Amino acid sequence: MPNGMDGWRFLPVSHLLRDDLSDLGEPGPHAHDPYPYDLDEARLLGVLYVLEGSSLGAQLLVKQAALLGLSEHNGARHLASQTSDPKRWPAFVKILESNGAASTGDVARGAVDAFAAAVQAFHHDR
């Protein structure tokens, strides 16, 4: 585990996404192969950067979802979960800043890998 992650934990939302899709009458995602990239400590930080950063976007989306009648109980559970603790992002940034052992290039490769995996999953489900 990267340095300084003792007080921060990853927030899984995949089960909430499945419930939200069900609320909306959409099928759940197909099973995918395991994450296809190597995850050393630095690349893990890059992946977590992307996943945790998506919570920042969720702050905008949760407001739009509410206008559509979606909520933490129906169709927007994952957004509610992602926006429930405003201290998560600053805590994660501290982890990034305190992790001098991680090379910036490897962290960036981890972030790029996370986006590539998301694109692959999106195309796989289409």
| DSSP-derived 3-state class of residue 3 | coil
% of the chain with per-residue pLDDT over 90:
48
Q: How buried is residue 112: exposed, middle or buried, by Cβ count under 10 Å (0-12/13-18/19+)?
A: middle
Q: What is the mean pLDDT of the chain?
A: 86
Question: Mind giving me the DSSP string for 5-36?
Answer: GGG------HHHHHHHHHHTTPPPPPP-PPP-
**What pLDDT, on the 0 to 100 scale, is given for residue 119?**
87
| pTM of model > 0.85 | no
**pLDDT 10s digits, 33-85:** 667 777 888 899 999 999 999 999 999 999 999 999 999 999 999 999 999 99
What are the sequence ranges of the domains in the chain? 12-27+40-124
DSSP class of 75: B
CATH number of 12-27+40-124: 1.20.910.10
